[in-house]
């Protein structure tokens, strides 16, 4: 698609929280928070001519490599209207850093910094972006979080707590497990009271290897239930750190 006449380098979108996005406590679920942040990033890419279908002309797609989410205030509840704002911090070669913020009643409640890679969907490997992006102004000094994303140390002591097999509903348009599913799998192993209390200050995730339909995986957790890894054939595919 051509660049939209409504395109701006900083994009904002208002959404009303619906009941399917809320848990039994009436508040936005962590997984749906991640979905909202990433959907806004996708909408910005569409307006700027870097959508999935634009990139598929070169057999490319954006895939998430790392994300850090900092939760500053209470998460929104059913029927709240939130504004999600996003901009690109850096885009060079095959990698991009994008920042995202969520506001409720003009107050920032969430900040996220994300690290994306350009992925060739035929070769299943990263490569430089084939489309022009000079019309996107970059904001290298404008950050959404107090800390940047990091490379999580996966060599921490953990115990295997469950196993699962990738099913069709886990897959996305790139034909691999959607990144929010990894988080959902890990959170589902916790005591529901911990989730409903919504006491996490930050969530940090590293996506290390893609998972596909039929893959058998194991979920491991440390004793404090704040560090998770997901493995396939004893190789780490995903790491998660929860900060309370």
Cα 78–Cα 198–Cα 142 angle in degrees, nearest 5 = 85
pLDDT of residue 147: 95
For the chain, helix, strand, coil in percent to 5 are 20, 40, 40
Domain boundaries, the chain: 7-146, 150-244
CA distance 35 to 195: 17
pLDDT of residue 2: 82
**Looking at residues 72-91, what average pLDDT do you find?**
96
Query: Tokens 């070669």 identify what position?
Result: 93
**Looking at residues 50-60, what average pLDDT do you find?**
94
Tell me if 7-146 shares its fold with 150-244.
yes
Q: Is the pLDDT of residue 219 over 70?
A: yes
- Which CATH superfamily groups domain 7-146? Hotdog Thioesterase (3.10.129.10)
Q: Among residues 81, 61, 62, 66, which one has the least CA distance to residue 16? A: 81
Question: Measured between alpha carbons, how far apart are the two ends of the chain, in Å?
Answer: 42
Q: Is the pLDDT of residue 120 over 70?
A: yes
Look up the CATH architecture of domain 150-244.
Roll (3.10)
Instruction: Tell me the average pLDDT of the chain.
Output: 96
Beta-strand runs (E) in the chain: 10-16, 60-71, 81-92, 95-104, 107-120, 125-126, 159-165, 202-207, 216-221, 227-232, 235-243
């Amino acid at each position: 698609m051509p660049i939209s006449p409504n395109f701006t380098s900083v994009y904002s979108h208002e959404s009303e929280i619906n009941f399917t996005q809320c848990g039994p406590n009436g508040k936005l679920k962590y997984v749906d928070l991640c979905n909202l942040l990433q959907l806004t990033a996708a909408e910005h890419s569409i307006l700027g001519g870097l959508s999935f279908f634009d990139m598929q002309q070169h057999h490319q797609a954006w895939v998430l490599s790392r994300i850090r989410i900092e939760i500053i205030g209470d998460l929104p509840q059913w029927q709240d209207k939130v504004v999600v704002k996003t901009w690109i911090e850096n885009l060079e070669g095959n990698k991009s850093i994008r920042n995202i913020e969520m506001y409720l009643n003009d107050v920032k409640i969430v900040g996220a910094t994300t690290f994306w890679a350009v992925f060739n969907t035929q070769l299943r490997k990263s490569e430089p972006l084939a489309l022009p992006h000079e019309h996107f102004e970059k904001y290298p000094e404008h950050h959404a979080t107090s800390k940047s994303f990091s490379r999580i140390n996966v060599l921490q002591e953990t115990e295997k707590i469950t196993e699962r097999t990738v099913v069709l509903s886990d897959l996305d348009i790139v034909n691999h497990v959607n990144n929010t599913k990894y988080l959902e799998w890990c959170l589902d192993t916790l005591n529901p009271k911990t989730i409903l209390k919504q006491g996490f200050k930050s969530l940090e995730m590293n996506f290390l290897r893609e998972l596909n339909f039929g893959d058998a995986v194991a979920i491991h957790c440390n004793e404090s239930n704040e560090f998770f890894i997901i493995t396939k054939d004893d190789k780490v595919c995903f790491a998660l750190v929860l900060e309370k």
